[in-house]
Amino acid sequence: MSVEVVCAGVLVADTFVPPLPRLPAAGELMATGDFWHDSGGCAANTATCLRKLGVQAGVVGKVGRDAGGDFVEQDLKAKGVDTAGLRRSERLGTSETVILPVSGEDRRYIHTFGANVDFRVEDISREQIAGAKVFYVGGYLILPGFDPGAFRKLLAFARGQGVRTVLDVVVTEGGGGWEMLAAVLPEVDFFTPNDHEAQLLTGEQEPRAQAEYLLGAGCGTAIITQGEKGVLLARADQVLELPAFSLPMVDGSGAGDAFAAGLIAGLLRDWELGECLRLASAVGASACTKLGCTPGVFTWAEAEVFLRDH
């Protein structure tokens, strides 16, 4: 199956606990509503959101030869995502995350990296990339098997085929990873970190300074998301800032992945960058309206109505 967007990167079997009033005390049994089980991780979330926006998307990543891997594959297929690029690790199980939201607090994650540790640049088909319009990679910097030199060559190959490259990262709280990122930024058309990730990577406090730092390292367009504070886009000849859309907040998981999907959907329609940002911001905000990374994400028809009315 030919896809418009190849989404490579982190794949996870997610378990979401409904929002809790507080964390239980030691030994306490706290009853909740039903847990939500879903395919997740940057690559799966972005591909799922793209399908909801009417874009043909496929995933490339690694899961285990286990029930979790079967679930991720079957769930993505049911959502219309092409899984031809799904690989199976021979030594590690599927990555899993338990998400614990507590009312009035940020989410807590319990995570095992699993088969994502085994994912290599060599697992990504150049033939599939050459047939696409956008190559998206999510979760770079927590993919230890990704060799920066090989990854840069793959990004350069994509751009040589006329395929736009979009990169998102996950930065651990200890920071680090700048050398891995700097090695590939010159082949990245759009880089989409949030402001906290950008601060850990660049050492700069303000989004404009963060963007300037990233552009100086060779990035084509830097887009810094700032949650409820909005978003900043910067490229050599242009700076755009947009406020955030206000929608009811239930669970912020996956908002960044939904933002990336909205951005890509706008780019595929050849929209002006300002309109792409509006769409991305709306789609990102919609992800926060339901439990889980993608259940609340707008369909294309819903996004059109929302943008018309806001």
Q: CATH no. for residue 92?
A: 3.40.1190.20
Judge whether 29 lies within some domain: no
DSSP 24: P
pTM for the complete prediction? 0.95
Cβ pair 203, 175 in contact under 8 A: no
**Along the 310 residues of the chain, how does pLDDT read in single tens digits?**
589 999 999 999 999 999 899 999 999 999 999 999 999 999 999 999 999 999 999 999 999 999 999 999 999 999 999 999 999 999 999 999 999 989 888 889 999 999 999 999 999 999 999 999 999 999 999 999 999 999 999 999 999 999 999 999 999 877 779 999 999 999 999 999 999 999 999 999 999 999 999 999 999 999 999 999 999 999 999 999 999 998 998 888 999 999 999 999 999 999 999 999 999 999 999 999 998 999 999 999 999 999 999 9
SS3 of residue 154 by DSSP:
helix
Please report whether residue 76 resides in a domain. yes
Q: Which domain holds residue 126?
A: 5-20+35-303
**Residue 246, number of CB atoms within 10 A of its CB:** 9
In the chain, the number of structural domains is 1
Q: What distance in Å separates the CA atoms of residue 253 and residue 12, rounded to the nearest whole number?
A: 13
pLDDT reported for residue 252: 86
In a domain, 25, yes or no: no
In a domain, 308, yes or no: no
CA–CA dist 76, 194 (Å, integer) = 26
Instruction: Please check whether residue 270 lies inside any domain of the structure.
Output: yes
Instruction: Name the residue among 111, 116, 141 with its Cα closest to residue 62.
Output: 116
Beta bridge partners of 61: 86
The verdict on residue 9 lying in a domain is yes
Do the domain assignments include residue 309?
no
Tokens describing residue 85: 């690029």
